[in-house]
């Protein structure tokens, strides 16, 4: 491959260096792969210095671990001297954020971290150990990475906060359903979460075979809420439902809070 480049020559016996500006293409045609490369380049020390292939591969100039919870700090190698529009960084948080966040790189000042241009971050959108790609727009760091947390296997992503099981358990009475979900670190799905999972594109409506318990008020002191069948039929239905005494047996789905 032909390249036009500026060669820096180091004269070891004289302890000096010089630049050689070559106005013609340079062909690297050594006998081995090791002879067809430029070696010995260090990390760029200034903002206007070129980066070696090694520093690019290591992402040392753009990637760092961030300390703090909502007010994050990070250090790049080499140290950044100023924020510039278009500056791209990959930050790996050491803690999950609890809400609106800022990022301070190399002591240059805390800048807001935003999503979708002007929205503050929600809790846990910066996850421990998961790199977050951001670009500086001149006034704030815009989060480019996915903000939602993926659902575990076997769950449907019905909202930013909730995952619903794709396949029901049961049958069981209402109390057993609540207990089984709780024992797995989950909760019995409420009506709103269950309905979103049932009615959305690619939802679980096809897996409904009988009524399912939902953890919602039934407007009755002695009954629980159930959903899933068209009234008077055995046809799956996201809108149908009714009430039943809690000791009755129905299927159920557990929900996972992200």
Domain around 114: 63-143
Residues 104 and 50 grouped into a single domain: no
Specify whether 54 is located in the same domain as 71. no
Give residue 28's pLDDT: 80
What is the token pair recorded at 151?
Answer: 């659902």
Q: Is residue 150 part of a domain?
A: no
**pLDDT one-digit tens code per residue, 149-164:** 778 899 998 887 889 9
Residue of 105 and 43 predicted with greater confidence: 105
Whole-prediction pTM:
0.49
Strand partners, 243: 225
**Interatomic CA distance for residues 208 and 196, integer angstroms:** 14
Dihedral pair phi/psi, residue 103, rounded to 5°: -135, 130
For residues 174 and 253, membership in a common domain is answered with yes
Q: Per the structure, how many domains does the chain have?
A: 3
Whichever domain contains 248, its CATH number is 3.10.100.10
Please check whether residue 148 lies inside any domain of the structure: no
Q: What is the pLDDT of residue 61?
A: 74
pLDDT tens per residue across span 114-137: 998 999 988 778 877 889 999 999
Instruction: Indicate the residue among 112, 143, 174 that finishes a domain.
Output: 143
Whether residue 32 is contained in a domain is answered as yes
149 located within any domain: no
């Amino acid at each position: 491959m032909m390249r036009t480049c500026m060669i820096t020559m180091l004269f070891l016996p004289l302890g000096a260096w010089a630049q050689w500006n070559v106005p013609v293409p340079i062909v690297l045609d050594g006998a081995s792969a090791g002879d067809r490369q430029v070696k010995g380049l260090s990390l760029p020390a200034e903002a206007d210095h070129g980066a070696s292939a090694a520093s690019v591969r290591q992402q040392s100039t753009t990637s760092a671990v961030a300390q703090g919870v909502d007010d994050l700090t990070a250090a790049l190698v080499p140290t950044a001297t100023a924020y510039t529009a278009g500056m791209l960084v990959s930050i790996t948080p050491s803690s999950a954020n609890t809400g609106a966040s800022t990022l301070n790189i190399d002591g240059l000042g805390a800048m807001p971290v935003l999503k979708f241009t002007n929205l503050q971050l929600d809790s846990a959108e910066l996850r421990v150990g998961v790199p977050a790609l951001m670009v500086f727009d001149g006034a704030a760091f815009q989060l480019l990475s996915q903000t939602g947390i993926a659902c575990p296997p076997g769950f449907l992503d019905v909202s930013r906060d909730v995952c619903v099981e794709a396949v029901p358990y049961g049958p069981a009475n209402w109390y057993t359903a609540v207990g089984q979900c709780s024992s797995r670190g989950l909760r019995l799905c409420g009506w709103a979460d269950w309905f979103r999972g049932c009615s959305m594109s690619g939802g679980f409506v096809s897996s409904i075979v009988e009524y399912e318990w939902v953890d919602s008020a039934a407007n009755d002191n002695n009954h629980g809420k159930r959903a899933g069948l068209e009234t008077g039929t055995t046809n799956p239905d996201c809108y149908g439902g009714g009430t039943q005494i809690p000791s009755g047996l129905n299927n159920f789905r557990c929900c996972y809070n992200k």
